[in-house]
Amino acid sequence: MALEKATGSDRPIQDQLVKSGDIPRHIAIIMDGNGRWAQKRGLPRIAGHREGVNSVRDIVEACGQLGVRYLTLYAFSTENWKRPREEVSLLMRLLLKALRDEKDRLHQNEVQLKAVGDISTLPQDVQDELLDGIEKMKNNKGLTLILALSYSGRWDITNAISRMYDDIRSGVLKKEQITQDLITSYLSTRDFPDPDLLVRTSGELRISNFLIWQIAYSELFISQEYWPSFRRTQLYESIADFQRRERRFGMVSEQLHSSEPTGEPLRGMERFVKSASKP
């Protein structure tokens, strides 16, 4: 589907996307390129992070309008702590300000805020603001916005293994019970489905220790835009691209296209699960 550029109201483009295929239930984004966006303009790196907050606002809003159920944003990785102290400190101030400024608007838009990562390592005021937002929005029924903060995939898996070990030692868990689903249930992302679509901005072809377990079958979309220039138009392109993919989950194409009693073509795992459970 060719997407026109959003002018004025972008409702027609959203309607077109909803009609043309599945809207990913869960989108995860590696927001990259803030520094380069700023440097290209002769600005300090923090100016890129500031403009990046405007992209966050736009993408959250567009995802909510499209009916995306979960949006996970890689806002601060475990490795980001190794950046110059000054940049880390400015990023934490910016996060605090964004949480304070956006909380009411998010709440009005029925967003449910969540966080994954080693939250205890964040400055106390950021932790307080975050937990306050999570509590305030816990009963909302709209988009679930998951902020990955002080997060890395290896941190998550290491943490899960350590807790599984404790449970085995205390007799709560037996070795025979270890399955992929059980491991998933020990991860910090246990309450959310795996991402259907993983977007990375700024053209880099890396996962950067993001949701390494959870993206086993996610579709990848690499945008050449730096994060501060990644707005809803680019999001729509990523979704249109997603809709052109055939998600096979390790099967062959024919298995996905055999006829269903309803005549309705089902996609990927949903179809597989349905046909596998037939008597």
Instruction: List the Cα angle 107/108/114 in 5-degree steps.
Output: 20
Nearer to ligand FPP, 98 or 239 (CB): 98
Please give the residues from 247 up to 266 whose contact with ligand FPP meets the rule CB under 6 A: none
* Catalytic residue check, 118: no
Among residues 269, 228, 231, the alpha carbon closest in space to that of 247 is found at 269
The active-site residue out of 10, 15, 22, 32 is 32
Select from 9-17, 91-99, 176-184, 236-244 the region that touches ligand FPP (CB under 6 A).
91-99
Radius of gyration for the alpha carbons in the chain, expressed in angstroms and rounded:
20
CA-closest candidate to residue 47, choices 103, 101, 97, 87: 87
Q: Rounded to whole angstroms, how far apart are CA atoms 14 and 201?
A: 21
Choose which of 46, 66, 68, 95 interacts with ligand FPP (CB under 6 A): 95
Round to whole Å and give the CA distance between 193 and 189: 8
Pick from 65, 80, 140, 229: which binds ligand FPP (CB under 6 A)? 80
Please return the burial class of 267, using the count of CB atoms within 10 Å of its CB with bins 0-12, 13-18 and 19+: middle
CB of 109 to ligand FPP, least distance (A): 15
Catalytic, 32? Answer yes
Contacting ligand FPP within 21-40 (CB under 6 A):
31-36
Residues that bind ligand FPP (CB under 6 A): 31-36, 49, 52-53, 56, 73, 75, 80, 94-95, 98, 147
Catalytic residue positions?
32, 80
